[in-house]
Amino acid sequence: MDRIRIVGGAKLTGTIPISGAKNAALPLMIASLLTDETLTLDNVPHLADVEQLIRILGNHGVDYSVNGRRAGEGETYSRTINFTAKRIVDTTAPYNLVSKMRASFWVIGPLVARMGEARVSLPGGCAIGTRPVDLFIDGLQALGTQIDIDNGYVVAKAPKGLIGARYVFPKVSVGATHVLMMAASLAKGTTVLENAAREPEIVNLAECLNAMGAKIEGAGTPTITIEGVAKLHGARVAVIPDRIETGTYAMAVAMTGGDVLLEHARPDLLENALDVLVQAGAEITPTNSGIRVRRNGSGIAAVDVTTAPFPGFPTDLQAQFMGLMTRAKGKSRITETIFENRFMHVQELARLGAKISLAGQTAIVEGVSSLKGAPVMATDLRASVSLVIAGLAAEGETTVHRVYHLDRGFERLEQKLTGCGATVERLSE
């Protein structure tokens, strides 16, 4: 198992290219199941989760081909990939594939909409809470799907097709909004989704579906209206830049000091998180080519944050922000409202000398003047990168074990950081 060795202390200076967003690429790839024509996606990041979803889609009969690599670029850069689901050969998504990644459960929407049936294993993914699928089941039932649970599988049937309906989400869910938007695109009649997720990845999926011939309005607002169509066709769509990767590197710069251009980053995708960083003392400047982040002199100020669905502060940046706050001047309170078990990084950060206490869903971080390098364990995708951020600012050497979590969601992390002057290397055990 690989590990990452970091020697802390260097300021970050230079340019970091921001990759396509994992959380946008996954639903866009799944949308290829909705049509027998080719869906071409640009800017798909090279990540373990993307490779895993390619395997899952392949099991349903989706062919893919990779092109668009620029001269001189290796295997690990964002790519253009063509997905073609000419014929769905299997409507079952088995446990051994779905258990590795929660988002693969989302195939249930397009499969039942196009084929009238789907048998999808209950999901896996990061161990950050119970993450049930009740909203998917409720929502698909509202569109006329019959659902049974059989031996750990959700069995969805709609032999006569789905029927448009009004569905009010009792709780905001990114995944359930993706799934219902995809399913409703091929339903008979109009679907209105209320209290829908507003994340930029939802907007990217709606753009993709509309380019495929769907009729979706209101994505990015709490009310999404989908007028069903009989058939969808091929299209070419670009994956948006990764706002979580952007926020992560912005926090790394705020932590170490320095001056970095986050190339291709879009400030509109993470307004709230950028505001918080400014309050913490970072200088954030949108430019024509991305976002420039600087921090000089006066150190990091303590800021309180509470995670919330978009446009609030993203739960996927909570661990990284906690990493930053370990060095702040004063006390910050970080409250997690989306997932109930997303503080696993706390005890690992403590190994580096951080002072953090937990009170229910709130972490109270008392900034310390310095962190000291130590061996630490990655526990989930975002938690693991918070340890990298802390390691970059710690004195001496930090080794992050179980880096396969990082490989799920961060493209070329070591290269991007070393390119800006950090000492980061991958070691094989």
Query: Which of 86, 89, 129, 286: binder of ligand UD1 (CB under 6 A)?
Result: 129
120 lies in the binding site for ligand UD1 (CB under 6 A): no
- Over its C-alpha atoms, the chain yields an Rg (Å, rounded) of 21
Write the binding mask 341 to 380 for ligand UD1: x where contact by CB under 6 A, - elsewhere.
Answer: ----------------------------------------
Checking DSSP bridges between strand 362-366 and strand 331-335, what pairing results, if any? antiparallel
Helix, strand, or coil (residue 332): strand
Residues binding ligand UD1: number (CB under 6 A): 21
401 lies in the binding site for ligand UD1 (CB under 6 A): no
Q: Calculate the CA 275 to chain-centre distance.
A: 20
Task: Please report, as residue ranges, which positions from 265 to 324 form the binding site for ligand UD1 (by CB under 6 A).
Answer: 315-316
DSSP 114: H
140 lies in the binding site for ligand UD1 (CB under 6 A): no
* Cα-Cα-Cα-Cα dihedral sign, residues 279, 280, 281, 285: negative
Query: Which of 8, 17, 45, 175: binder of ligand UD1 (CB under 6 A)?
Result: 175
Q: Smaller CB distance to ligand UD1: residue 40 or 307? A: 307
Tell me the sheet residues that pair with 296.
none
Looking up tokens 């989302």 gives 106
229, 186 in Cβ contact below 8 A?
Answer: yes
170 lies in the binding site for ligand UD1 (CB under 6 A): no
Question: Stretches 131-139, 187-195, 349-357, 387-395: which one binds ligand UD1 (CB under 6 A)?
Answer: 131-139
Query: Which of 86, 171, 231, 331: binder of ligand UD1 (CB under 6 A)?
Result: 171
CA gap 33, 87 in Å, rounded:
9
Query: Which of 35, 145, 173, 320: binder of ligand UD1 (CB under 6 A)?
Result: 173
Query: Taking the CB of residue 259, how many other CB atoms lie within 10 A of it?
Result: 16
Residues in contact with 324: Cβ distance below 8 Å, sequence separation at least 6, in sequence order: 251, 254, 255, 280, 300, 389
Helix, strand, or coil (residue 296): coil
Question: Stretches 86-94, 126-134, 390-398, 414-422: which one binds ligand UD1 (CB under 6 A)?
Answer: 126-134
384, 400 in Cβ contact below 8 A?
Answer: yes
**Main-chain phi, psi angles of 174, to 5 degrees:** -65, -50
51 lies in the binding site for ligand UD1 (CB under 6 A): no
Q: Which residues are the active-site residues?
A: 126
45 lies in the binding site for ligand UD1 (CB under 6 A): no
Question: Stretches 85-93, 134-142, 157-165, 275-283: which one binds ligand UD1 (CB under 6 A)?
Answer: 134-142
CA gap 54, 401 in Å, rounded:
26
| Residue with smallest beta-carbon separation from ligand UD1 | 175
Q: Smaller CB distance to ligand UD1: residue 99 or 423? A: 99
Question: Which residues are near ligand UD1 by CB under 6 A?
Answer: 23, 26, 102-103, 129, 131-136, 171, 173-176, 201, 315-316, 338-339
